[in-house]
Amino acid sequence: MSDNITITGLVATEPRHIVTSESLAISSFRLASTQRRFDRSTQKWIDGDTNWFTITAFRNLAAHVSASVHKGDRVLVTGRLRIREWQTDERAGTTVDIEADAIGHDLAWGTSSFSRAVSALANSAAAESEINSRSEAGPRLVPRPRLRLRLRLRLRLSPKSQLRRRTSLLACRSRVLVVAS
């Protein structure tokens, strides 16, 4: 059985990250998803049954999961559902696995900070262009190094002030620095 599924839950185990002999990165962890419902008679939230899933991620997603996801985090997972029956001499059971296509923090429960990962290919292309630009004589234009800026807009600011602030931050990122060689 292979179906796509999106699920939210708590990371129950610290993600386990391995790299195979063929250089394939794999990360896996257990996810607990508990359904909650509001009981109007008692005016309280009641926990339902907990479903357990084994989440597996491959390649770049696996590397990012091992760096970003930790035990106790609330996450959203989208991927392919795999249900497998198993049996030993003493026990039998069912394993529910999700091969993840995307994993992210559940922002309904907290905040998160994103930083884009640069691939090795992009790094090598940037290094090659840097070497080529050094061979040219005269001053050269070098992009200003990107700063990790967190844009935090407070609710106290009016929409016009928020737009002005956002525009000035974007203008700071696009300036070019002239360096003499």
Mean pLDDT (whole number) for 165-177: 47
pLDDT at position 36:
86
Q: What DSSP character marks residue 42? A: T
Among 3.40.50.740, 2.40.10.10, 2.40.50.140, 1.10.10.10, name the CATH number for the domain at 3-105. 2.40.50.140
Residue 121, pLDDT above cutoff 60: no
159: confidence class by pLDDT, cuts 50, 70, 90: low
Q: Break the chain into its structural domains and give their ranges.
A: 3-105, 138-181
Distance (Å, rounded) from C-alpha 97 to C-alpha 86? 13
165: confidence class by pLDDT, cuts 50, 70, 90: low
Q: Which of 107, 98, 143 is nearest to 6 (CA)?
A: 98
Spatial neighbors of 118 by CB under 8 A, at least 6 apart, are none
Q: Average per-residue pLDDT in the chain?
A: 77
Q: Which of 46, 6, 13 is nearest to 32 (CA)?
A: 13
Distance (Å, rounded) from C-alpha 132 to C-alpha 155? 47
Q: Which of 79, 67, 64 is nearest to 31 (CA)?
A: 79
Per-residue pLDDT tens digits for 44-89: 989 889 999 999 999 999 999 999 999 999 999 999 999 999 899 9
